[in-house]
Chain A
Amino acid sequence: MSWFALSGSIEQGLAYGVLALGVYLTFRVLQFADLTVDGSFPLGAAVAATLIVSGTSPIVAILVAFFAGMLAGAVTGLMHTKMRIAGLLASILTMTALYSVNLRIMGRPNVPLLRQPTLFTNLSDWGFNHPLQALIVFGVLVVVVKLGIDWFLSTEIGLAMRATGDNPAMIRSLGVDTDGMIVLGLAFSNGLVALAGAMMAQYQGYADVGMGLGTIITGLASVILGHALIRPSTVFRATLGAVIGAVLYRLAIYFALGAGFAPTDLRIVTAAIVVLALAGPALKERFSSRKGPTDQELDALTQASPSGTVSGSAATAGKEGM
């Protein structure tokens, strides 16, 4: 365990922060479990690496990767909204298809970027050559993306997107095309994930067709971990939580490796963390000693709303909804 390895974990954590922000947009804002990211992360890496190898500037390569990711997200969104395929399944279909797409783009399973110009070598050439270069680059990027999302989600379109996840019937009754919002949100989210993939490829020096496996779990673990520590009561706190969650998740892995876990065991550890976090509320209820309101509480409740008739009729009226 060296400072070098530790700072590497923080660098990766910040890069994965961009990924976590993308996952936050779908999972928390749109309430959509989007597995497309397992394909769009390596898509971003594949596009960026292939373009760089063919002589494109790394910055242009990153931008193209972002748009490729947006396209992938839009495909999932259109399948879900226009073809009425369940969201989870639509995203699995895109993810599966992207595996072939990524191989096509790269022409082989792995594209090394050794001795190729990357964003990092470019910056060195331009005189920004600091031991903390990668840390600063990823840090600035993730802060810019975080503040950008905070801003976007406070705009008129952003509010409509949040309402689409919260209460689609309500926002439709206010004139918003919720299908369009879902497609836009998925596109934006996967653009960010592909951006993270493009950055990771340059950071680690290669793109690999298998590098996307478990991306969604990494993203979910980051968001859930972050939101367990920072209550996401506002968008600002929610995005902050996602980024901090991503860094802490990387650090947790770093220490898990230090504690003797084999790298191959990491995925099951991560999966277990996500299961526990998601099952939290259910487990709490099950093992809680309180099984319901006390007599006193029931008395108080029934006094507060004296008319059983009215609420009873409301309950039957709900069934009419045809």
Chain B
Amino acid sequence: MLVLEKVTKTFPVGGGSVKVAVNRVDLTIEKGQFVTVIGSNGAGKSTLLNLIAGRYLPDRGRIVLDGVDITRWSEHRRARFIGRVFQDPLQGTAASMTIEENLSMAERRGQRRTLARGVTRSGRSRYRELLAPLGLGLESRLQSEVGLLSGGQRQSLSLIMATMTRPSLLLLDEHTAALDPKTAKQVLDLTTRIVGEYGLTTLMVTHNLEHALRIGDRTIMMHEGGVVLDLSGPERTRMTVQDLLQEFTRVRGADLLDDRLLLT
């Protein structure tokens, strides 16, 4: 279970003033819940994920994961409990290293690393089993450099790497936005399959309103650093993309027309 209490983050914007990126957010996510996060550019979605992951430390507030206060923990210390997939497929993997090397690093997530051999024989057979269901043929290319893979393949690999140790929390930051529609769908299907199979507590940022409503079991909308809409249960089931757009209009006002949400 993830609990945010009055989490706040500001950034200096020069001239002595600050931008409030995340404004006193209170949020409780139950164990096993799959939450989708929507909101226009600059609403604070990415900052919120970065605060939870520990890339930024909050100015105020508390972050508690499974009963442990991790508010001041460094990013690499939290990583033991938090898996993450970034928007850019290049960000989630080490390009100059092989598929098996990448997987072996992910398998040691948060554990003490030793002078033991990184890629072992037993590791290889585990990796093959993990990769085979993807249907991408990666299981027979364990010694290929990741840099040779396509964006979709790299993102699928990133997803496996983020989830293979079954972390307490999975953060997905628009992880299909940089892929073409067909690949995006494949990666999204893989996401729901893995999250369902492992019962992972998940927070997924998306710009696709249909995905936001159809996937997972709760949807929150952010605006100007705060959570302005929190949907779950029958209320969410009844919600249509049109309704959501109207909600957007309500909170955003007239500048909706130039928003790329309309494109999706």
Interface residues of chain A, those whose CB is within 8 Å of chain B, are 152, 154-160, 162-163, 166-167, 169-178, 233, 305-307, 309-311, 313-314, 316-322
* CA A286 to CA B156, docked complex, whole Å: 36
Q: CB within 8 Å of A: which of B113-134?
A: 113-119
Chain A residue contacts of B41, Cβ below 8 A: 316-317, 319-320
B223 within 8 A of A: no
B193 within 8 A of A: no
Q: Is the CB of B263 within 8 A of A309?
A: yes
**A167 contact from B79, B93, B115, B184, Cβ within 8 A:** B93
Q: Is the CB of A322 within 8 A of B174?
A: no
The minimal Cβ–Cβ distance linking B191 to chain A, given in whole angstroms, is 17
Chain A residue contacts of B87, Cβ below 8 A: 314, 317-318
* CA A288 to CA B35, docked complex, whole Å: 51
B75 within 8 A of A: yes
Q: Which of A156, A174, A178 has the most CB of B within 10 A?
A: A174
**A166 contact from B42, B47, B84, B97, Cβ within 8 A:** B97
Q: Is the CB of B109 within 8 A of A174?
A: yes
**A173 contact from B45, B84, B116, Cβ within 8 A:** B84
* CA A171 to CA B19, docked complex, whole Å: 29
Q: Is the CB of A317 within 8 A of B207?
A: yes
Chain A residue contacts of B115, Cβ below 8 A: 152, 155-157
Chain B residue contacts of A154, Cβ below 8 A: 117-119
Among residues of B, the one whose C-beta sits closest to the C-beta of A178 is B76
* Chain B contact residue count (CB 8 A cutoff): 57
Q: Is the CB of B76 within 8 A of A313?
A: no
Q: Is the CB of B106 within 8 A of A166?
A: no
* CA A167 to CA B97, docked complex, whole Å: 10
**A170 contact from B45, B94, B113, Cβ within 8 A:** B94
Chain A residue contacts of B21, Cβ below 8 A: 322
Q: CB within 8 Å of A: which of B203-225?
A: 207
Chain A residue contacts of B197, Cβ below 8 A: none
Q: Which of B60-68, B175-183, B230-238, B240-248 contacts A (4 or more CB under 8 A)?
A: B175-183
Q: Is the CB of B113 within 8 A of A173?
A: no
**Can you list 19 A-B contacts with CB-CB less than 8 angstroms, sorted by A residue number?**
A154-B117, A155-B113, A155-B117, A156-B105, A156-B113, A156-B118, A159-B118, A160-B105, A162-B94, A162-B96, A163-B105, A166-B94, A170-B91, A172-B75, A173-B75, A173-B79, A175-B109, A313-B264, A317-B177
Chain B residue contacts of A307, Cβ below 8 A: 180-181
**A163 contact from B47, B86, B94, B263, Cβ within 8 A:** B94
Chain A residue contacts of B179, Cβ below 8 A: 310
* CA A177 to CA B110, docked complex, whole Å: 10
Chain A residue contacts of B178, Cβ below 8 A: 311, 314
* CA A233 to CA B148, docked complex, whole Å: 12
**A171 contact from B94, B118, B263, Cβ within 8 A:** B94
Q: Is the CB of A174 within 8 A of B106?
A: yes
Chain B residue contacts of A320, Cβ below 8 A: 41-42, 45-46
* CA A213 to CA B177, docked complex, whole Å: 50
Chain A residue contacts of B117, Cβ below 8 A: 154-156
* CA A141 to CA B216, docked complex, whole Å: 59
Asked whether A155 and B118 contact (CB < 8 A) given A163-B97, A171-B94, the answer is yes
